[in-house]
Amino acid sequence: MKLIIRSFFFIFICLGINNISPSFGQDASAGTAAAPTEATPILINLPDTTTQPQLDSMAKQLKAINKSLQSLTNSNSENRTLFKNLLENTQEISSDAERMIKLLQPRLTGYNQALKLLASTTDSTSDKTTDKNSPANSNSTSNEVSKYQQSLINNRRDIQTKIQQATIIQLESNSLSVQIQQSLANIQQIQLFTHFPSPLSSEFWNQVDAYHVSDQARLGKISSDFILLFTQNWDNDSNTRFRMLGGIVIALLIIFFVRPFVEKLMTKLVKKVIPPTRLRRSLMTLFAAILSSITAGFSATVIFSSLGYQNTINHPAFDFSEHIIHQLFFCGFILGLYRGFLAVKNPQWRLLPINDATAKAISILPYLYALTVFLLGVLKYINSTSDVSIIAQQICNGFFTLLASLLCLAIPIKLRQMGIEKLASNTNNAPGLTFLFVGFALPIFCLVCIITVLIGYIHLGFSMCVWLNWVILVFSTLSLIRMLLTDITNLVLNPDRWIGKKIRLLGVKAQSMEQLATVITGAITVLTILLIIASCISPGNFDLLLFAKHLSDILQTQQIGSVNLSFAAIAQAFVIFIVGIYCIRLVRNWMNKKLFPKTTLDHATRNSIDTIFNYCCWIVVAVIVLSTLGVTTQNITWIVSALSVGIGFGLQAIVQNFVSGLILLTERPVRIGDSVVVGGVKGTVKSIKVRATEIQLSDYSTLIVPNSQLITSSVQNSTRSRHLGLISIKLPVITPKELEKARELILNIVHNHPDIVENPKPSVLVDSITEISLVVSITCYINPSSSGDGVKSDILLEYLIGMSKNTTTPMLERKKPEEILASKHD
């Protein structure tokens, strides 16, 4: 019983039962106010003095942003940074306004409840003072109450006004955000299709030469500021030199000694703890990526900390150092991820289905790819902070595009031999869809990027190349995470493993565990596909913060018609559904195994109660899941109305059978185990389901009868009054002398048969007298679970054997009645 209570308590937690209806709180407050005790204030009735300055500040910022937006009429690439800054400020104002609305809304609710409580208190007080006939006390009390009530009204009006102001600010900021995003989209479109002179032409390099001096000066300023960090420490006293050298030595120790040691230690731990499954490889690959990221980023942090870059007054050098550290964390993860996929030194840990020769052939590519991504981040930072010319930015973009495209082209070239070997073999390991994509689609896409850059559309080729590399990285990472989660699920829910055996001790079946593992792995795969699609439609510029924001926007509330769906709501509904299934099974097992055996209910009644309870529970779970997904009562009404129209046309028979099934379970004209005759067919009722009833016939075949037929047509129930089986046999007895022997033999057989009940008593009566014999009728009752045909066969067989022993002539060799009569006439 405790387990059931805990299960329902967990369901209430999932539903967020703490959000109690306001009306419930009002009723409780009213009940408290009616008590003859001193009233306590439900809130601090003080005017709000802190919110209005914040609202005024946000309104001023919005006006400034609107003015700046109107001044930026030209949507060119030079204003892109300004538009981004305006967009960030606008979104921040919108979030602040939303936060303020959420902060003020409970206070407004409190004022409303206080005014209602005060009104009910005033009414009860006026009734009491009228009974006591004390007008002086009544006037003083009413004056105090009216003053307090007026102050509550004023404060509520102030809160309402501020909520309206915050709502207007939020709407205006959202409108400005849409305008700025449209301007950024126009800038992006203009940049994508802006044509520059081809890098193969002299005109392009003439423009480079024209801006060479100014660009070199700007780049020299950044490089000199960054180099100054090293030269200052080296030119200072010996302590700073030793500190710088010590930082470099520590970084080298971390890279070449600490990282391999930790990796070997983790390998031994995984071998000892994890069973020999794919989970070992996926876990070690993820660990290698994380360890490589920490190693690269922490080593850079140690080096720059030894230089004292945090205390420098050279802000550009400080920002550049911070950017390099962040890039090394990111590029270290990329390097460790693909090194873990290849596992050149430890082939037994390799996740990719390639041989050792292929892995060694492409082992250099992860280093080149990480270096390329690092170069991209550095170039983007330099272009955004140094104000170099557009032609210089295009040189950097074109250089990255050519380098990254050639690097991606090297992958199918290296894998070509493996594909040829697979195609040449006659085994089932022929190249699949992934090999076709890597072998054909990837080279074509890279060639398109290269050609686009060479003909002058440099930014278009650059954007395509960056998007391709971003999608490849996200796909690799999500694929690894999917493998890891799938392997963990299969290990935990494997009935033959140690954890699975412990779970089975809780009463969970092995088949249920396998089904749950299949459902979870399917959900993981679907979620992975959705995230990959989200990465494909994201900007894809290796900006993790931007990607996280884009992903959060997708996973947040999305409106479909009048229903607001979100990933959190879907996940909560899924959890409620799973917990509901578990709780329903738990309660049903408790009822069938603990409660029903201690009652006097028969099997049919138990089945009816269990089935109706199951239906009701599933209806409750369905309503809770729909409400969690945001489907209101009005939406449910519309759904029911639409279903009613469909029921009227095509689902009438199904609903009729369903309602008939409920009638059978409640009124129980036919119960499980009853011997019935439906349409001339006799059988035993085995189950009553939603749509139809199953009747087992004498040949052990099953007759499926729609429930509506059992309600609307005539049904003969042989065990309606007594829940027992009836057997009726008629036997011919030739002579009156044999009648007494046959009667004693039959009664003896019936009394000794284990399936025949003693009450009602069996009977052997003379049914009729013909010219040639006496007809004896045998009537007896059997247990509900017994087979009537089997018992009948046993009675006849024992009767035949018994009569053969009591007569000199065997029963089967005796003359027929016609022959006996003919001999008498002769």
Distances (CA, A) of 587 to 383, 518, 573, 721: 66, 25, 21, 32
- Return the amino acid letter for 747: L
For residue 692, the cross-strand partners are 706
- Selected from 2.30.30.60, 1.50.10.20, 3.40.50.10490, 2.20.28.270, the CATH number assigned to the domain covering 665-717 reads 2.30.30.60
**pLDDT at residue 84 is higher than 70:** yes
Q: Which two tokens stand for residue 774?
A: 């006496």
Q: Which two tokens stand for residue 135?
A: 């007008």
CA gap 244, 260 in Å, rounded: 24
* Residue 192: exposure state from Cβ atoms within 10 A (0-12, 13-18, ≥19): middle
Question: What fold is seen in the domain 725-825?
Answer: Alpha-Beta Plaits (3.30.70)
**311-333 pLDDT, tens digit each:** 555 677 778 888 899 999 999 99
SS3 (DSSP) at 757: coil
**pLDDT at residue 540 is higher than 70:** no
Distances (CA, A) of 238 to 94, 227, 242, 310, 689: 53, 19, 6, 20, 90
Distances (CA, A) of 247 to 166, 307, 356, 383, 807: 52, 8, 37, 30, 116
**Lookup result for tokens 């996200």:** 474
**Of 95, 114, 113, 91, the residue nearest 103 (C-alpha):** 95
CA gap 587, 4 in Å, rounded: 7
Distances (CA, A) of 308 to 237, 241, 512, 787: 14, 12, 60, 93
SS3 (DSSP) at 730: strand
Angle value at C-alpha 308, between 303 and 311, nearest 5 degrees: 145
Distances (CA, A) of 788 to 75, 650, 800: 91, 41, 18
What is the per-residue pLDDT for 756? Answer: 85
Q: What is the mean pLDDT of residues 603-607?
A: 74
Share of the chain above pLDDT 70, in %: 79
What is the per-residue pLDDT for 374? Answer: 92
Per DSSP, helices labelled H in 51-201 are 51-71, 80-132, 135-192
* Residue 642: exposure state from Cβ atoms within 10 A (0-12, 13-18, ≥19): exposed
Phi, psi angles (nearest 5°) of residue 425 = -80, 155
Q: What is the mean pLDDT of residues 64-84?
A: 74
**3-62 pLDDT, tens digit each:** 444 444 444 444 443 433 333 333 333 343 333 333 444 455 667 778 888 888 888 988
**553-589 pLDDT, tens digit each:** 766 666 666 666 777 788 888 889 888 988 998 899 8
Do the bridges between strand 675-678 and strand 725-733 make them parallel or antiparallel, or are there none, so unpaired?
unpaired
Q: Which two tokens stand for residue 430?
A: 């022929």
Q: What is the mean pLDDT of residues 587-599?
A: 88
What is the per-residue pLDDT for 615? Answer: 84
**pLDDT at residue 666 is higher than 50:** yes
Q: Tell me which of 223-237, 397-411, 584-598, 605-619 is least confident.
A: 223-237
**pLDDT at residue 210 is higher than 80:** yes
Most confident range (mean pLDDT) of 227-236, 418-427, 676-685 is 676-685
SS3 (DSSP) at 717: strand
**Of 456, 452, 389, the residue nearest 197 (C-alpha):** 456
Contact 608, 666 (CB under 8 A): yes
**487-526 pLDDT, tens digit each:** 999 999 888 888 888 888 877 888 888 888 998 999 899 8
Query: What length does the chain have?
Result: 826
Q: How many CB atoms lie within 10 A of CB 593?
A: 9
Cα Rg of the chain (Å, integer)? 43
**pLDDT at residue 790 is higher than 70:** yes
**pLDDT at residue 426 is higher than 50:** no
**Of 270, 323, 262, the residue nearest 295 (C-alpha):** 262
Q: What letter would DSSP give residue 363?
A: T
What is the per-residue pLDDT for 264? Answer: 92
What is the per-residue pLDDT for 43? Answer: 53
CATH of domain 556-650: 1.10.287
Share of the chain above pLDDT 90, in %: 13
Which is more confident, 182 or 338?
338
Angle value at C-alpha 261, between 260 and 263, nearest 5 degrees: 65
User: How confident is residue 216, by pLDDT bands cut at 50, 70 and 90?
Assistant: confident
Q: Which two tokens stand for residue 1?
A: 């019983």
What average pLDDT does the chain have? Answer: 78
Task: Evaluate whether 556-650 and 725-825 have a shared fold.
Answer: no
Q: Which two tokens stand for residue 247?
A: 């930082």
Q: Which two tokens stand for residue 436?
A: 């076709």
CA gap 250, 639 in Å, rounded: 67
What is the per-residue pLDDT for 27? Answer: 39
**pLDDT at residue 821 is higher than 90:** no
* Spans of all domains in the chain: 1-28+79-129+141-192, 212-388, 389-400+421-555, 556-650, 665-717, 725-825
CA gap 60, 490 in Å, rounded: 57
* Residue 229: exposure state from Cβ atoms within 10 A (0-12, 13-18, ≥19): buried
What is the per-residue pLDDT for 645? Answer: 67
